[in-house]
Amino acid sequence: MDLDVSVKSVYELFSGKNVYTIPNYQRDYSWKDEQSKEFFEDILKTSGINSDNFEINESNKYFFGMISLIGDKSGADPNRPYSVIDGQQRITTMLLFYRAIEETIDNLNRELPDDAKYSIDIEDRLICKTTIQGEHVNRVRLLKGALDPFFPVDIIDSERRKKDGATAPPCSDEQMAVRDVYDYIKDCISKSKLSESLGIDSTDLDDHTYKRILDNLSKHLDNAQVICIYHQNASDAHTLFRNLNSRGIALNQTDLIKSDVFSNLGGDDGLVEHKWSIVQQNVYEANEDMQKFLYHYFQSKDSKVKTTTVLKRYNEKYKSEGKLENNFLEDLHKGSVFYKNITHPDDNEELFGETRYFSKSNHPSIKRNLIYLQNWRVEHHRSILLKLFELREKEIIDNRYLKKMVDLIAYNQCLFSIVGNKTKGIGSAYRNALTSLIKLPEEENIHVRKEEIYRQFKNDLLNKLPNKDQIIDKELRYSCKSIEDMKKDELRQYEIIRFVLSKLAEARQESTNQSNDAYKFIRQASLEHIVDRENQGDNLNILGNILLLEQRLHDDKKEWEEKLKMYESSSITMTREFADDYPDFNQENILDRNKKLLDEFYELVKSIDQS
């Protein structure tokens, strides 16, 4: 390889016509607080600034390591940026540090007259001012399509329009990672935190001295040293990137798959980058990261895939004679759409060729069960659901079969969630069912086989159920907070209580109406305390003291006879029958009813059979 090595200061790195771009196949920006903290502490420690000295020690040259670039070191051109092969995490963080200092000082200057403002020259490190066809253009020093428009607009403010309200909020995991590090650095250099780091009282630090310290820290970064390796042959970029990983630079499997996709399918039209960004956006809206999505995605293709074998499966499934199949990105995109709807189902989404899928027929119950599973904080069902969604898309199964499989998963998972045992024991049942579903399209009699798969899956799950005594002894608690204010475990228990009561109520309901979402009124009912919370007692918020009641019937009735009349007016059979079951209900009955409800639900799960 034709290499040219040069030692540069960070000031030189971000001066003149130097502009950098991060190639499509590069990993996402992924620094966390730990790396950011180390970065800031290194800068502060080597600067020489302390409680007795606010000036930098220019003899201390901080070394930032190596940066690998593609391009001619003597031919900087903002219209042909250097490609960053290694070092993007450090380069990005340097610019975030510069910008955090600039914005902090600008905010302190805002209300001051011009002659009292503290002058800084950080802008040139962030922006390359050039001309294109006679027009003045501000080019951000670091370009990356996956960060647009967030990075140039919301962070760097390249056109200086934030003061006029311009904004571009983060809309991907990578953009959020950049935002988090930027906010972390701004917090580190705040007057209070910086004073604490220097061991001085913030009240003793006037604004002018504070700004001088920040300016000096930026100058210390200017003086830091970087080894720049310039590579002339752009066609070797992908090879170099992979080789760097083999030399100990940690790239995860997602990085390597992304690198390979862009290397095999990428072109100058940006189509592959656009498709990959859509996949990332869907996963971001699922509130997950690409690494977890890819694991579930590839496991839905091969039940034997583990978190450590995702890359291996990618190479085996989609690489033919070392070349990536063109349909991979299309299939990945479809999988990301399914994933988003599995974790966050939306009535407005089009699925399986149906507009507003979750709002039609009995599909709302699928949506609710998916939401329950999400709020119970379980994930191992996602691979099998991805396969079910794929089979439904290909019309190998119908909506009825999809619904009963989702029901089966939700009912059984609820029991495991009650005892707090989310995965132990049922992994083999999921893997066996997934393996069978993967083979389903190749079966001779698909209709018969899919029903066999359902029955076997049901039996496998029943054989793994927790002991009934473990279930009925649990005291599920309702925190009585709004959903927005609930902590994760409070929300989990609240959703389990709702699921148990709703399913018991549906099973008891005296109705032959099987129309579209016939039991909607049950699912929309609120949770009613039987013995009022104003009474003293430790068990007033557990399942045994709660029933479902339509919002229209809620009243602050305190007398028992009035409450009974209110319950008897309910359209929910289970609520109406409560008075017959407990004509004189009091605190002593709560634990007894708690056990009976959980016992009844346990038997209901065992008897579930969706024909």
Place of tokens 């009934």: 468
pLDDT band for 122, please (50, 70, 90 cuts): very high
Residue 111 has pLDDT above 80, yes or no: yes
Say which range, 162-166, 189-193, 415-419, has the weakest mean pLDDT: 162-166
Sheet holding 82-86, edge to edge: 3-9, 225-231, 63-70, 82-86, 20-21, 142-143
Cα–Cα distances in angstroms (integers) from residue 128 to residues 13, 142, 155, 342, in the given order = 12, 10, 16, 44
Q: How far apart are CA 494 and CA 475, in angstroms?
A: 12
pLDDT for position 455? 96
Of 371, 381, 393, 412, nearest in space to 300 by CA: 381
Q: What are phi and psi of 548, to 5 degrees?
A: -90, 140
Q: Which residues pair with 340 in a beta bridge?
A: none
pLDDT for position 248? 38
pLDDT band for 240, please (50, 70, 90 cuts): low
pLDDT for position 326? 75
Q: Sign of the C-alpha dihedral, residues 475, 481, 482, 483?
A: negative
- 186 touches 103 (CB < 8 A): yes
Q: Which residues pair with 53 in a beta bridge?
A: 50
Task: Kindly report, residue by residue over 265-280, the tens digit of the pLDDT.
Answer: 776 667 887 888 899 8
Residue 353 has pLDDT above 80, yes or no: yes
- 486 touches 363 (CB < 8 A): no
- 44 touches 204 (CB < 8 A): no
pLDDT for position 611? 47
Residue 413 has pLDDT above 70, yes or no: yes
Question: What are 430-435's contacts with CB under 8 Å, separation 24+?
Answer: 430/380, 430/381, 430/383, 430/384, 431/303, 431/304, 432/303, 432/456, 432/457, 432/460, 433/384, 433/457, 433/460, 434/299, 434/300, 434/303, 434/383, 434/384, 434/387, 435/303
Q: Based on the number of CB atoms within 10 Å of its own CB, is 315 exposed (0-12), middle (13-18) or buried (19 or more)?
A: middle
Say which range, 8-12, 183-187, 417-421, 435-439, has the weakest mean pLDDT: 417-421
pLDDT for position 249? 38
Q: How far apart are CA 526 and CA 40, in angstroms?
A: 50
Task: Kindly report, residue by residue over 567-585, the tens digit of the pLDDT.
Answer: 989 999 999 999 888 888 9
Task: Kindly report, residue by residue over 324-338, the tens digit of the pLDDT.
Answer: 777 899 999 999 999
Q: Which residues pair with 20 in a beta bridge?
A: 82, 142
403 Cβ partners below 8 Å, 6+ apart?
362, 363, 365, 366, 610
Say which range, 64-73, 252-261, 525-534, 539-548, has the weakest mean pLDDT: 252-261
Residues 73-100 have a mean pLDDT of 91
Residues 87-95 have a mean pLDDT of 94
pLDDT for position 247? 40
Residues 243-263 have a mean pLDDT of 67
Say which range, 186-195, 235-244, 397-406, 514-523, has the weakest mean pLDDT: 235-244
Say which range, 154-158, 249-253, 476-480, has the weakest mean pLDDT: 249-253
| 475: alpha, beta or left? (left if phi > 0; alpha if psi -120 to 50) | beta
Q: How far apart are CA 108 and CA 476, in angstroms?
A: 52
Q: Sign of the C-alpha dihedral, residues 371, 372, 373, 374?
A: positive
pLDDT for position 183? 97
DSSP annotation of 559: S
Task: Kindly report, residue by residue over 22-64, the tens digit of the pLDDT.
Answer: 876 677 898 999 999 999 999 999 999 998 899 998 888 888 8
Of 88, 71, 448, nearest in space to 234 by CA: 71
**Which H or E run contains 601?**
helix 590-607
Q: How far apart are CA 585 and CA 578, in angstroms?
A: 9
Name the more confident of 132 and 445.
Answer: 445
Preceding peptide of 149 cis, ω within 30°: yes
pLDDT band for 2, please (50, 70, 90 cuts): low
Give Cα 321 distance to the centre of its chain. 34
Residues in the chain: 611
DSSP annotation of 63: E
Residue 293 DSSP SS3 = helix
- What does the buried/exposed string (b/e) look like for 416-429 if buried means 16 or more CB atoms within 10 Å of the residue's CB? bbbeeebeeebeeb
High-pLDDT (> 70) share of the chain, % = 92
428 Cβ partners below 8 Å, 6+ apart?
460, 464
Q: How far apart are CA 220 and CA 282, in angstroms?
A: 41
Q: Based on the number of CB atoms within 10 Å of its own CB, is 219 exposed (0-12), middle (13-18) or buried (19 or more)?
A: middle
Residues 113-120 have a mean pLDDT of 93
Cα–Cα distances in angstroms (integers) from residue 298 to residues 292, 293, 306, in the given order = 10, 9, 9
High-pLDDT (> 90) share of the chain, % = 60
Q: Sign of the C-alpha dihedral, residues 283, 288, 292, 295?
A: negative
Task: Kindly report, residue by residue over 298-314, the tens digit of the pLDDT.
Answer: 999 999 999 999 998 89
Task: Kindly report, residue by residue over 513-541, the tens digit of the pLDDT.
Answer: 655 677 889 989 999 999 988 777 778 99
Residue 323 has pLDDT above 80, yes or no: no
Show the DSSP H helices in 247-327 as ranges.
253-265, 271-285, 290-299, 310-318
Residue 434 has pLDDT above 80, yes or no: yes
Secondary structure of 473-520 in HEC code, one letter for each residue: CCCCECCCCCHHHCCHHHHHHHHHHHHHHHHHHHHHCCCCCCCCCCCH
Tell me how crowded residue 153 is: count the other CB atoms within 10 A of its CB: 18
Tell me how crowded residue 442 is: count the other CB atoms within 10 A of its CB: 8
pLDDT for position 514? 56
pLDDT for position 246? 42
pLDDT for position 24? 66
Name the more confident of 529 and 556.
Answer: 529
- 281 touches 289 (CB < 8 A): no
Q: What angle do CA 191, 193, 198 make, to 5 degrees?
A: 90
Task: Kindly report, residue by residue over 194-207, the tens digit of the pLDDT.
Answer: 999 999 998 989 99
Chain mean pLDDT for the chain:
89
pLDDT for position 205? 92
Q: How far apart are CA 521 and CA 506, in angstroms?
A: 10
Tell me how crowded residue 354 is: count the other CB atoms within 10 A of its CB: 14
Say which range, 246-260, 436-450, 472-486, has the weakest mean pLDDT: 246-260
Residue 94 has pLDDT above 80, yes or no: yes
Residue 119 has pLDDT above 80, yes or no: yes
pLDDT for position 60? 84
